[in-house]
Amino acid sequence: INAEYMGHLMGEPITLENLSQLISDWGGVAPLAIKPCFSDSEYEGKEYCYVTYRDHESILQAHDNLLQRDFPKVHFASLREVDPSRIIQRLKASCGQVLSDLGEDPTREGLLKTPHRWASALLFLTKGYQQSLRTVVNGAVFKHEARDLVLVKDINVFSMCEHHLLPFWGKAHVAYLPDGKIIGLSKLARITEIFSRRLQVQERLTRQIADALNDTLQPLGVAVIIEAAHMCMQMRGVQQTGTSTVTSAMLGEFEANPRTRSELLGLIQHSKL
């Protein structure tokens, strides 16, 4: 937060109290804490400070709300963006401790670089926390008068089960009925990745993709169907290999109109190119 700019907007010097109130009002989400980036001194005269929220959804909501107000002096970032090397070091230390607790020797040749590889992989697998819907869509919404069904089939989905931190993967089919606007086709895959590259459950993932597309386009209808295999079911627990889980989210015409829903399902089952 640029304190001088904030003070100019408010007509008074910036303080912890009025900064917190302004961020709550304009961002639509109350922050948990606010502190200077590089100092424990007072806020007056400090150019930037950290704003901490309860969860990543709150961060993304506040970020998008502030951008909609064209507020130019706020940049929301998690610690991994502000100081990624610090996160890598923390994750490496945690991995080394886990290896020791499992009875392994973290210093042996085969495991010497494992903590760094694991930390880097984990950051990649959860990179969706660093992305916002507004940034990913990036204005790729266009006027279009036709209302014919748009479907992108077989979008790759790779995610991590939040209960066991084991992967699940599969395919997503994302469709919508335009109502004056269409979106770049690649954005359907990118929106899917925003939410899949997080710790997830498939049920929530399906709904989040549908809600995000619905919020972006306000179409006549949105449908998302995901079929995925879960390693938490296959390599542990019930150990049922070959199983798959199917979830769907139907909004608007896809929920209300059986003929529209049947058309969608027929297109999904149609042979590939």
pLDDT tens-digit readout, 11-55: 656 566 677 777 788 788 888 877 655 443 443 444 556 777 777
Helix (H, G, I), strand (E, B) or coil at 234: helix
Contact 46, 14 (CB under 8 A): no
Looking at per-residue pLDDT, the higher value among 74 and 104 belongs to: 104
pLDDT tens per residue across span 210-247: 999 999 999 999 999 999 999 999 999 999 999 999 99
What pLDDT was estimated at residue 178?
97
- Mean predicted lDDT score pLDDT of the chain: 85
pLDDT tens per residue across span 57-66: 787 778 777 7
User: In terms of Cα–Cα distance, which of 181, 174, 184, 182 is closest to 152?
Assistant: 174
Contact 62, 23 (CB under 8 A): yes
Helix (H, G, I), strand (E, B) or coil at 79: helix
- Give the residues across from 142 on adjacent strands: 182
Lowest mean pLDDT segment, chosen from 21-25, 248-252, 256-260: 21-25
d(CA 210, CA 188): 10
* 176 pLDDT more than 70: yes
At 250, is the pLDDT very low, low, confident or very high (cuts 50, 70, 90)? very high
What pLDDT was estimated at residue 48?
57
From the centroid of its chain, how far is CA 246? 21
What pLDDT was estimated at residue 30?
86
Render 93-145 in DSSP notation, one character per residue: HHHHHHHHHTT--TTSGGGTTHHHHHHHHHHHHTGGGG--HHHHHTT-EEEE-
